Amino acid sequence: MTAGSSISELLNWAYQQLSAGESPKTDARFILAHCMGQSTTYLMTWPDKIVDEDIQSHFQKLVTKRKIGHPVAHLIGTRDFWTLSLEVSPDTLIPRPETELLVEQALHLPIDQTAKVLDLGTGTGAIALSLAQEKPDWQVTGVDVIESAVALAKRNGIANLLPDVEFLQSSWFDNLNARTFDLIVSNPPYVESDSHYLLEGDVRFEPASALTSGKDGLDDIKIIIEQSLKHLESGGWLMIEHGYNQSEDLAKLFMQYQYTHIFHKKDLNDQPRISAAQKP
């Protein structure tokens, strides 16, 4: 790349660099917009604008990192989720669009105006903050085992004008004493530990603790289903995101612990990815 290149020249260079990836054009545009402190619309509107040299060299460094697999969200430091813009870090899972299905379904549950809600393994705070955004009268708490994730979620609450969401460090329920909730939601780790999926693409740069959970991926889900019984009000709901092939296992676990009104919801690929049930 020569010095004094235009926006369109830089983008064309990056499309070439990233052509083996899944989304070279959107990746390149997001990265350049971030480096320039502008929107992607700006890039499309001013393709002939010459880019400052320091911005250009920063852009080239980030594109090179993207080429070896670093997720765009890590390179630009943020990811949009629901109506929020969330800071991300390599300490947590990058919020996924499919988790918006969980938020949407949780909002449809028949739950009180002033419910107490818990998000287990909150990471960036994505689920907790989205629910709080939609239901200002819910008292929402998010917990995460990783201290730096708790700090990140708190920053995201403040940045998204949701400072009342409570974030605590806790391994599942360990630091919650006898607290009870009307709704418990979770996107726990659920990928099988020997899955090939973990060796490819962006997930290689995300923490294994947020992705895998034993041979069948169900270790943490089992703990959550068992221990939620002690922390749900009678009539309270538990809703969990899981892998496309795990809904029958979740149904069995819910039945084993005497939950009722078990149901599953499918994602846009027609796969069951959310399961929920009620404590009688």
Which residues in this chain contact ligand GLN in the complex, by CB under 6 A? Answer: 93, 96, 187-191, 203, 211
Instruction: Give the containing element (helix H, strand E) for 232.
Output: strand 232-241
Q: Which is nearer to ligand GLN, 8 or 193 (CB)?
A: 193
- Following DSSP, what letter does each residue of 101-169 receive, concatenated? HHHHHHHHS---TT-EEEEET-TTTHHHHHHHHH-TTSEEEEEES-HHHHHHHHHHHHHTT-TTSEEEE
What is the closest distance, in whole angstroms, from the C-beta atom of residue 143 to ligand GLN in the complex?
Answer: 15
Q: Cα-flanking dihedrals φ and ψ of residue 8, to 5°?
A: -70, -35
What is the closest distance, in whole angstroms, from the C-beta atom of residue 86 to ligand GLN in the complex?
Answer: 16
What is the closest distance, in whole angstroms, from the C-beta atom of residue 96 to ligand GLN in the complex?
Answer: 5
Query: Locate tokens 């909150």: which residue?
Result: 122
Bridge partners of residue 140, in order along the sequence = 117
Query: CA-CA distance, 131 to 164, in Å (whole number)?
Result: 12
Q: How many CA atoms lie within 13 A of 46 on its CB side?
A: 13
Cβ atoms of 63 and 16 within 8 Å: the answer is no
What is the closest distance, in whole angstroms, from the C-beta atom of residue 94 to ligand GLN in the complex?
Answer: 9
Q: Which is nearer to ligand GLN, 33 or 102 (CB)?
A: 102
What is the closest distance, in whole angstroms, from the C-beta atom of residue 201 to ligand GLN in the complex?
Answer: 9
Q: Closest by alpha carbon to 124, among 161, 164, 79, 83? A: 79
Q: Which is nearer to ligand GLN, 21 or 189 (CB)?
A: 189
Q: Which is nearer to ligand GLN, 93 or 140 (CB)?
A: 93
Q: Which is nearer to ligand GLN, 190 or 259 (CB)?
A: 190
Exposure string of 160-190, with b = 16+ CB inside 10 Å and e = fewer, is: bebeebbbbebebbeebeeeebbbbbbbbbb
Query: CA-CA distance, 87 to 89, in Å (whole number)?
Result: 7
Q: Which is nearer to ligand GLN, 242 or 279 (CB)?
A: 242
Q: Which is nearer to ligand GLN, 233 or 267 (CB)?
A: 267
Q: Closest by alpha carbon to 121, among 61, 171, 52? A: 171
Query: Which token pair is 279?
Result: 């404590």
What is the closest distance, in whole angstroms, from the C-beta atom of residue 19 to ligand GLN in the complex?
Answer: 23
Cβ atoms of 17 and 67 within 8 Å: the answer is yes
What is the closest distance, in whole angstroms, from the C-beta atom of residue 21 to ligand GLN in the complex?
Answer: 16
What is the closest distance, in whole angstroms, from the C-beta atom of residue 191 to ligand GLN in the complex?
Answer: 5
Q: Which is nearer to ligand GLN, 187 or 278 (CB)?
A: 187
